[in-house]
Amino acid sequence: MNDFFKKIRFGELTIPFAFLAVLIFAFGFLIPRLGIYQDDWLYVYNAYARGPQGLWDFTYADGTPFASLINIALFAILGFKPLYWHIASLLARWLTVTVFWLVLRRLWSSSPRQTFLAALLFSLHPFFTLQPLAYTFLHVWLGYFSLGLSFYWMICSVQEPKRFWFYTILALLAETVTIFTLEYFAGLEFLRPILLWMVVRNQEKDFKSSVIKSLKLWMPYLVVFGIYIYWRFFIYTVPIKNRNDPIVIETLLSNPLAGIKLILFNLVPDTLLIVVASWFNILNPTSFDWFDRGNIILTALSLLVGLLAFFYLSRQTYDQPKETPTKSLYPREAFWLGLAIVVLGLIPPYVGGLFINEKNPLWNSRFGLASMLGASMMVVALVEALFASYKARLIFFAALVGLTVSYHARYTNDFTNTWKKQANFYRQLVLRVPSLQPNTAVITEGEILYHMGDYPTAYAINIMLAQPRGDSGEYINYWFFSITSNFGNRLDDFMNGMVIQDRHRSLRFSGKSNESLIVSFEPEKGQCLYVIRPQDSTVRLLPSMMKDASHLSALKRISLQKNSGLFLQEIGLNYSEDWCTYYQQADLARQAGDWAQTAKLWNDARAKDFAPGAPFEYLPFVEAFARLGDWDQAVSLTLEVKYLPPAARLTLCDFWNSLPAAPERDSAFKQVQAELACPVN
């Protein structure tokens, strides 16, 4: 058996499959459970509710109008199902890694192992943590891939002079696609003369000649880049004020010293964040708390991938002899070229005054995408220089790969849990709100969905309640607000029925706080989605903020005519029937005064062994049986909370006290009062 394994060798043709394998370990196995997150909803809403024009308007307002062409094509090909987008995004990332490996291979043909390792670390670099946002980043990875193709074809044009123009034209076309559809990678255009010089330096007699030739070869690409700069800053005007304004350039022009200080004081920490600090995330001590079953699984994943990586690395056919230090120029050259890539990659966010160290590290990890290849090259260069032992280097890189894979799998699993909660919210929403009048806000006490935020949740709600291609114009029908974050400093005005407005990119919303739906959603506590009624102001179980705002909840804006939930069918979302399925239908029937249907839903739910998860959820059914005169059943339901905490019992007591006095009611209430120790009003 040992002889068999010793004979196994992995040639260069297996390298792309190695990249794909580690990406599948890191992300692929969780893809079927991933969904739609944060800025994904902007793309999905505009494509679903407004069509190609919506995508154009959105990207035009965002500063990249030509990106709409790619997104229109992607939605036409992939539709809306998350599964297809996540698979496509993973494949696009794989293609990007592969093409940049080919670029490095062309630059350092004598260092195949080092270029492979740099590309391998690039595929898994821990700084970028937004891979689950497939709708947002699929076209970004495709643009990154196009940039890699442009670099590769540019190098080929010099190394294969007989096909110079063929490769040059291809490189220019690929450059045009990237630069006019994305701003993420604009800074890497300044990398071209460096790459060209690295290719032509051995073809010229001296340094000066090689520099002049590389600059001449750069000219066609500089022209394309110049056209883009002229269009972006002198022709195109972003319709939203202060959106993507070149703040740092304006500062440099008005006060050069202040501008340079601003750049340098942020460049150092941002470079350290990308090159060094991001790797510490894979060694978070909480990840090794083995009392958590999930940590045991992820630790096992690290070990498995690490062992496979070591086996693969140790069996590559072009590995250098063991214990023989490399004489390649790679460590020194790759370090400095990598640093150049890191710095140049930060130009686009810096132009707009966006500094990574000052922002939320999760959502701003996208600003480090263009720098990750350079950071990976620097790591490989440093390890090559610091570790004299060939075997020690292999062990280090294998361990790094294993730990990084489990790190990505960990936070990706967090996204799967987020999608589960989102799906639960949306399916309950469309059951409870079959149709909703326009200009209605959905309002909660605070943020209710992880990895979302106010405006993404607003777009998602609009999709749930929209007809395909049913929205047009600049005003959007619904919006989402949290009281604490949106109205904390205007709480009195909010409670008195103020006009509430918001704007995001190309769309506006306008409504009134007293023409809104006040909702609560805490499934972590076993609760269903609650659409609060004005009558709920005295319910003891609700948070005080919800009770104070309950008078604003305008249930009359909910229509019984079903007009929602089409998007959930479109993406094939199937959520298992449970208690909340019946609760939402019953609460809607209660709103309509259909007490017979409400009671029937109770009986149907109980026939399937479903039961309320919280005392509040008994109220529609107790009221239904009371209205129907079935006092025995009303009492029976009420007494199910007998052994729950006092607030739960008193909530039911309050309900019974609110019922009009009548002989049958009084007789039934005596039973309730005796069992629950209800106070008498």
pLDDT digits (tens, 9 = 90+) for 39-70: 999 999 999 988 898 888 888 877 788 888 99
Of the candidate ranges 98-102, 126-130, 634-638, the one whose mean pLDDT is the lowest: 634-638
User: Regarding predicted confidence, which is higher, 681 or 10?
Assistant: 10
On whether residue 508 sits in a domain, the answer given is no
Q: Which residue, of 415, 449, 470, is where some domain finishes?
A: 415
Residue 564 has pLDDT above 80, yes or no: no
**pLDDT at residue 22 is higher than 70:** yes
Task: Show the domain range for 663.
Answer: 579-681
For residue 86, being part of any structural domain is answered with: yes
| Mean pLDDT across 479-506 | 89
Counting residues of the chain whose pLDDT is more than 70, the rounded percentage is 95
pLDDT of residue 652: 84
pTM score > 0.85 for this model?
yes
Q: Looking at 349-477, which runs of residues are DSSP E strands?
A: 435-436, 440-444
Please name the amino acid found at residue 43.
Y
Q: Which of 365, 386, 415 is the last residue of a domain?
A: 415
Nearest of 139, 130, 231, 239 to residue 182 by alpha carbon: 139
Q: What is the mean pLDDT of residues 225-251?
A: 79
**Cβ–Cβ < 8 Å for 499, 427:** no
Residue 93 lies in a domain: yes
Structure tokens at 465: 């309640």
Q: Which of 377, 393, 415 is the last residue of a domain?
A: 415
Q: What average pLDDT does the segment 64-79 reach? A: 92
Model confidence at 377, pLDDT cuts 50, 70, 90, reads very high
Mean of per-residue pLDDT scores for the chain:
89
More confident residue, 328 or 207: 207
Q: What is the pLDDT of residue 325?
A: 42
* Over residues 140-156, mean pLDDT: 97
Q: What tokens does 613 get? A: 């998860």
The burial class, CB within 10 Å (0-12 / 13-18 / 19+), for 570 is middle
pLDDT at 674 over 90: no
Indicate whether 222 belongs to any domain.
yes
Residue 204 maps to a domain: yes
- Mean per-residue pLDDT, 340-363: 85
292 inside domain: yes
- pLDDT score of 322: 44
* pLDDT number for residue 609: 93
Q: How confident is the model at residue 506 (pLDDT cuts 50, 70, 90)?
A: confident
Q: Beta 558-559 vs 530-531: how paired, if at all?
A: unpaired
Q: Which phi-psi region, left, alpha or beta, contains residue 410 (left: φ > 0; alpha: ψ -120 to 50)?
A: alpha
> Is residue 469 over pLDDT 90?
no
- Higher local confidence (pLDDT), 212 or 203: 212
**Structure tokens, 64:** 């990249």
Residue 645 has a pLDDT of 79
| Mean pLDDT in residue range 636-644 | 85
What is the 3-state secondary structure of 199-215? HHCCCCCCHHHHHHHHH
Q: Is residue 274 part of a domain?
A: yes
Q: Is residue 422 situated within a structural domain? A: no
What CATH code is carried by the domain that includes residue 668? Answer: 1.25.40
How high is the pLDDT of residue 235? 86
Average pLDDT of the residues in 285-306? 84
Q: What is the predicted pLDDT for the residue at 298?
A: 87
Give per-residue burial for 12-41: e unless 16+ CB within 10 Å, then b.
eeebbebbbbbbebbbbebbebbbbbbbbb
Q: How confident is the model at residue 643 (pLDDT cuts 50, 70, 90)?
A: confident
Among all chains, which residue has been given the structure tokens 């068999």? 4
Residue 319 pLDDT greater than 50, yes or no: no
Burial class (CB in 10 A: 0-12, 13-18, 19+), 206: exposed
How many domains are there within the chain? 2
Long-range contacts of 290-297 (CB under 8 A, 24+ apart): 294/410, 294/413
Across 222-232, average pLDDT: 92
| Higher pLDDT, residue 140 or 489 | 140
Inform me whether the pLDDT recorded for 238 exceeds 80: no
199-208, 282-291, 526-535: which range is least confident on average?
Answer: 282-291
Q: Are strands 507-512 and 499-504 parallel, antiparallel or unpaired?
A: antiparallel
pLDDT of residue 130: 94
- For residue 361, name the pLDDT band (cuts at 50, 70, 90): low
Question: How does residue 419 score in pLDDT terms, banded at 50, 70 and 90?
Answer: very high
- What is the C-alpha to C-alpha distance for residues 631 and 623, in angstroms, rounded to an integer? 10
Which of 53-62, 414-423, 492-501 has the lowest average pLDDT?
53-62
Selection from 525, 527, 550, 537 nearest residue 443 by Cα: 550
Do 482 and 446 contact (CB within 8 A), yes or no?
yes
The SS3 call for residue 60 is: helix
pLDDT score at 243: 63
Whether the pLDDT of residue 675 is over 80: the answer is yes
What is the mean predicted confidence (pLDDT) over 489-512? 89
